[in-house]
Structure 1
Amino acid sequence: MTRLRSGTLLAMALSAGLAFAAPVPVFAFGAPESFADLAAKISPSVVNITTTSTVAASTGGNPMVPPGSPFEDLFPDQNGPQGPQRSEALGSGFVISEDGYIVTNNHVIEGADSIEIEFFSGKKLPAKLVGTDPKTDIALLKVETDAPLPFVQFGDSDLARVGDWVVAMGNPLGQGFSVSAGIVSARNRELSGTYDDYLQTDAAINRGNSGGPLFNMDGQVIGVNTAILSPNGGSIGIGFSMASNVVSKVVDQLKQFGETRRGWLGVRIQDVTPDIAESMGLTEAKGALVTDVPDGPSKTAGIKPGDVITMFAGNEVTDANSLTRRVADAPVGEAVPVVVLREGRTETLQVTLGRREDEEAKAFPAATPAPAEPHEMDILGLTLAPLTDDLRGKLGLDQGAEGLVVTGVDQASEAFTKGLREGDIITEAGQQKVLRLKDLQDRIQEAKSAGRKSLLLLIRRDGDPRFVALSLE
């Protein structure tokens, strides 16, 4: 490929009568000459955390040594059960107020009998646990001190851009205070939690860095270093820090209540995929599709299965996760407007939010699926049979359960690819109840007559509902 100088390329373009829009300026900033001033400013707020806990009695992990053996002196404690032992663990944290509140990871202090804080100055103080949130892996500690402590503030993690410089601080591998630098590699990463919103960074993070801060160049905390992706246990440049905009809300609640108090809408939801959008006649695959409405705030307000939630408290809902996070951040007991799309029309409903933690504490019986014999009709890659009392008993369902039971799935079918399995119950097709096989056939014919390429099915498994769109072609 021949490379042309910019002047030559411009001359050629002008001679050809072509015109170009003015280029958008791109500002590239070089690496800081040094991170030393920033490190000196923020280091006094970063702490090392040592926890001790009692390990339960063990029968010993090494080979048993027979009494009188010549090796008995080498393994004096290996014969017989071992008593409870003390164990120590190390982590990191940071001070967020001059009166001694400290943020770290929940997994750093989980199960600890005692917690000791070591400050940058070398001073050590005992800490008490204020509260924890396992869902975001955040814990809040408190030390008592007469002198004001140096502290740092949370920054706005939403302003962090991919490519921005960041600095991680902590106690990696128990080596003491350490600083590493890198960039924001990615945003909005999800690992396994409902409220996950991680910043990914290539700043070196290792064991012992857990709970330590991730700083922007203004010395504000924009993340809490929580996890790494590594095949060998050491940093390979893929670390994850829980975003400060999540952490700060959790910390405020832990400080005020000693526990989290998240809003609860009272619906089960899933994403609106392109095929589901097509099957429902939607123009965009956006929003959160309601699959079930148990007794609670949403049912009282009139939300129904099959509704697509498009707005919550004045904010657009793009997918199920965005709705979950917005609801969690909303105040418990507050009435909020929820806009739903139902049968092609929008409706605004006022929902008074409950508290999620109260609902999660309740126990719900789970159905026990069992294989059923193939029966009656093969359609859409499924073998289906209407629910009978005998099938309800075999599947562990309530006598009031209705629908069509999946008794077989063609492994080469789209239905199998999309996760349908034996024992699943189809309760709706085309957002209408199906009780008989003919009901499903009618819904298929109606969808084809309307020019639809797929049919939306509501599937229940172990009592949990979800929508699946299957192709009719």
Structure 2
Amino acid sequence: MKRLSIAFVFLLTVVVSSVSRAELPDFKSLVKKASPAVVNISTVQKVPDQQNYGFDFKGPNGEEIPEIFRHFFRFPGQEQGPQQRRAPQSLGSGFIISEDGYILTNHHVVKGADEVLVRLNDRRELEAEVIGSDERSDVALLKIKATGLPVAKIGDSTQLEPGEWVLAIGSPFGFDHTVTSGIVSATGRALENETYVPFIQTDVAINPGNSGGPLFNLDGEVIGINSQIYTRSGGFMGLSFAIPIDVAMDVTEQLKAEGFVTRGWLGVVIQEVNKDLAESFGLEKPAGALVAKVLPDSPAEDAGLREGDIILEFDGHEIELSSDLPHQVGRVMPGSKVKVKVVRNGRNEKISVTIGTLPDAERPLKAARKGSDETPENNRLNVVISELSQAQKDKWNIRNGVIIQSVLPGAGANAGLVSGDVITMLNGQRVESIRQFVELVNKLPEKKSVPMRIVRRGSPLFIPLRLGDE
């Protein structure tokens, strides 16, 4: 009986082991097919020659001045001496997308380079032309003079789901054609200061030098461009991010045609809808993008979008998180008309918006402003307020509201209001004056959350306000 049990356990172990091995992907054939299209990218920068400024370094008796002392010599008009060519630095990876030499990589890999060198799978090294580079998406398009090149197969990143196996090929630390694998951890991930890319998050080992390299699915199709890692140590920590290939190819087409990228622009400042805000706006659950500010002279203002609107759908796409909205808006061609579904004062409405062109960060936005007098006032929130001065309106680019001078214990303090906050909207109504604000406060219901829009140090923000809980 004991021998039978041992035999059974052994057999079960073999079966489980066989099943486990059968379920694990075999990357060998994928790597053989995909690797030839992956390239190493290095750059060259030219720097001033600091060792010879066009003069002979001779002493009073004609002797040669030692090299170590030459950097002390400076001659008028010669501060920027002859240009020297630095040795190529291996900075990243890329992949070929056409037989005639178009290559995709990251913007940050080629940024500031005087020359870009591409090393192919067959060891050839060719100089590349930067056709275009887009900082917002971190995508760059290169071109080398070659034909009959191996081409990476482009996939569909919109079909990706968390848990899928993926594989990266690149040149981490200059080690060409290094293969690492993992799974998709999440899709549509928003990163700070990267509002126009819904990143693919993976646990694939990505390190310096992988940037710009392809991320493959099990069919050998490129579904992303490896771009960033999250790290506290400077090395891989299990969090890496890739640009979805559908986003990258949209950018590529524009770079190829125009050399730059044009994006759609709505003209709103948005914030996340949390549980308390959802309750204050009468939503069943947190969802959507809350419009904290409508920029003047913007498509949103022209279409009639209002501060306090919650955008639930844009051009047929559901907006679950506020970070979903910039991705969708940026991909709409300027001049297109789209439908925007919003919740306004507890009711669903659909608004037609003609999308504009995303302006440069430095583009000034004009705003009409009104003057007012300062008058302190107390109210049910137990805050001391005054009218906004014209200087304050100009400083924060605000059209309306009242400013808090001091906060006393009470409902305002409980809501998190502080001195200097500007209250611009209360319970869906714009605040135009102290008198109107007091009237609005007096009409607020007891023990029910209502939304209040404030501007704090120039940044708009909605907070939930609840009276009667002191």
Q: TM-score range by the shorter chain?
A: 0.7 to 0.9
- Asked whether 1:468 is paired with 2:459, we answer no
SS in 2 for 1:268: strand
SS in 2 for 1:337: strand
1:44 to 32, 36, 39: 36
- Asked whether 1:176 is paired with 2:202, we answer no
Correspondence list, 1:57-96, <5 A: 75=68, 79=72, 86-87=85-86, 88-90=88-90, 91-96=92-97
User: 2: CA distance between counterparts of 1:203 and 1:428?
Assistant: 46
User: 2: CA distance between counterparts of 1:469 and 1:58?
Assistant: 61
SS in 2 for 1:179: strand
User: 2: CA distance between counterparts of 1:41 and 1:170?
Assistant: 15
- Equivalent residue, structure 2, for 1:265: 266
Correspondence list, 1:134-213, <5 A: 134-145=135-146, 147-192=147-192, 193-213=194-214
**Residues 374 and 110 of structure 1: is their aligned pair in 2 closer, same or farther, counting only changes over 3 Å?**
farther
- Equivalent residue, structure 1, for 2:371: none
Correspondence list, 1:215-364, <5 A: 215-293=216-294, 294-356=296-358, 358=359, 360-364=361-365
- Equivalent residue, structure 2, for 1:129: 130
User: 2: CA distance between counterparts of 1:410 and 1:174?
Assistant: 61
Over the matched positions of the two proteins, sequence identity in percent amounts to 39
- Asked whether 1:453 is paired with 2:448, we answer yes
Instruction: Give the TM-score normalised by the residue count of structure 1.
Output: 0.78
User: 1: CA distance between counterparts of 2:186 and 2:394?
Assistant: 45
Count of paired positions = 422
1:433 to 425, 430, 435: 430
**Residues 272 and 233 of structure 1: is their aligned pair in 2 closer, same or farther, counting only changes over 3 Å?**
closer
Letter in 1 for 2:402: L
**Residues 439 and 300 of structure 1: is their aligned pair in 2 closer, same or farther, counting only changes over 3 Å?**
closer
Superposed displacement of residue 413, structure 1? 8.9
User: 1: CA distance between counterparts of 2:163 and 2:283?
Assistant: 36
Correspondence list, 1:377-388, <5 A: 377=378, 380=381, 383-387=383-387
**Residues 58 and 290 of structure 1: is their aligned pair in 2 closer, same or farther, counting only changes over 3 Å?**
farther
User: 1: CA distance between counterparts of 2:100 and 2:228?
Assistant: 28
Superposed displacement of residue 221, structure 1? 0.9
- Equivalent residue, structure 1, for 2:24: 31
SS in 2 for 1:93: strand
User: 2: CA distance between counterparts of 1:37 and 1:398?
Assistant: 59
User: 1: CA distance between counterparts of 2:379 and 2:68?
Assistant: 67
Instruction: Give the TM-score normalised by the residue count of structure 2.
Output: 0.79
Letter in 2 for 1:106: H
Unaligned ranges ≥5, structure 1 = 1-25, 60-66, 367-372
Any conservation in 1 of the 2:42–2:117 contact (CA below 8 Å)?
yes
Any conservation in 1 of the 2:375–2:387 contact (CA below 8 Å)?
no
Letter in 1 for 2:40: N
Superposed displacement of residue 28, structure 1? 9.9
- Equivalent residue, structure 2, for 1:406: 404
User: 2: CA distance between counterparts of 1:249 and 1:74?
Assistant: 53
Letter in 2 for 1:305: E
Any conservation in 2 of the 1:410–1:416 contact (CA below 8 Å)?
no
- Equivalent residue, structure 2, for 1:11: none
User: 2: CA distance between counterparts of 1:400 and 1:173?
Assistant: 49
Superposed displacement of residue 113, structure 1? 0.6
**Residues 196 and 426 of structure 1: is their aligned pair in 2 closer, same or farther, counting only changes over 3 Å?**
same
Letter in 2 for 1:460: V
- Equivalent residue, structure 2, for 1:444: 441
Correspondence list, 1:11-30, <5 A: 30=23
